[in-house]
Amino acid sequence: MDLDQKQKEFFSTMQHTFDTPGWTLLKQGWQSEIDQLPLNVFYNAKSMEDIEAARERVKLLNELIALPAVITMQRDQIEQMDEDVDV
């Protein structure tokens, strides 16, 4: 299935965003935070809620780091959809 104009614009804009130096800096910061969280939690967690919050933070940061791959996968899935299938 071909992408419509709105989809093309979305995926193009997202790819442009992911190709910027700013996105690279954000990813580096997120990865650095992920790397530091286990040690910070080990020394600073006061309760199980603190540990659970850190786990959620890691999940969120990993989702942000993986966002370019997710967007690419979504685009590929749309392009591979059979036009005969009702959506």
CB 30 within 8 A of CB 65: yes
CB 45 within 8 A of CB 62: no
Mean pLDDT in the chain? 93
Tell me the pLDDT band of 84, cut-offs 50, 70 and 90. low
What is the reported pLDDT for 83? Answer: 62
CB 34 within 8 A of CB 58: yes
Cα–Cα distance, 49 to 55 (Å, whole number): 10
Tell me the pLDDT band of 64, cut-offs 50, 70 and 90. very high
What is the per-residue pLDDT across 39-57, written as a single tens digit (0 to 9) for each? 999 999 999 999 999 999 9
